[in-house]
Amino acid sequence: MIGGDQQTANDAERIRAAGAPAVQINTGKGCHLDAHGIGHALERLPLPEHGLLFIENVGNLVCPADFDLGETCKVVVLSVTEGEDKPLKYPNMFAAAGLMLLNKTDLLPHLDFDVARCLDYARRVNPDIRILQLSARTGEGMDAWLDWLRQGQRSALARQVSRLEAELAAARARLTENAA
């Protein structure tokens, strides 16, 4: 995991304490990570073959939407405590995301939060966005999140295999041309 915040290494320390490798990038006054910084962080991060890399961009819903970090998919996390109007207030992030995690659903009985309205707002901004509802505290919805991650991992591996097969076919064609 690569974590991005303006200050502190708290998130990376929590991830490492749970047993996963993590590198923290502090941006100072910057509002987002960039590909250059990610590249340097990757030099310090041992990644297993076919593993997953999570990049936690600086925690705002504005700047990170506009920067390509080489990620396969942007995931936006919206907590029910933030209000259902966030997709309309910060449309670029929700438009850029392939998945929205609606988190802290265990708190819904204690809040005035309209889930249906929130989902409608997200789909107004991005009709193709996939939405999963979950609670990190209770574990509700985590199986669906893990299934989504596994499917993404399988799809990425399939794309790698296809690319390698195409490169092999091109190399064989060049050899055949050179031999003729």
Is the pLDDT score of 69 beyond 90?
no
Is the pLDDT score of 60 beyond 90?
no
Q: What is the pTM of this model?
A: 0.82
Domain ranges of the chain: 1-57, 72-180
Model pLDDT for residues 98-153, shown as the tens digit of each residue: 999 999 999 999 999 999 999 999 999 999 999 999 999 999 999 999 999 999 88
Q: Do residues 162 and 175 lie in contact, with contact meaning Cβ atoms separated by under 8 Å?
A: no
Architecture category of domain 72-180 in CATH: 3-Layer(aba) Sandwich (3.40)
State residue 109's pLDDT score. Answer: 97
Task: Round to whole Å and give the CA distance between 32 and 28.
Answer: 10
Q: Give Cα 134 to chain centroid, integer Å.
A: 16
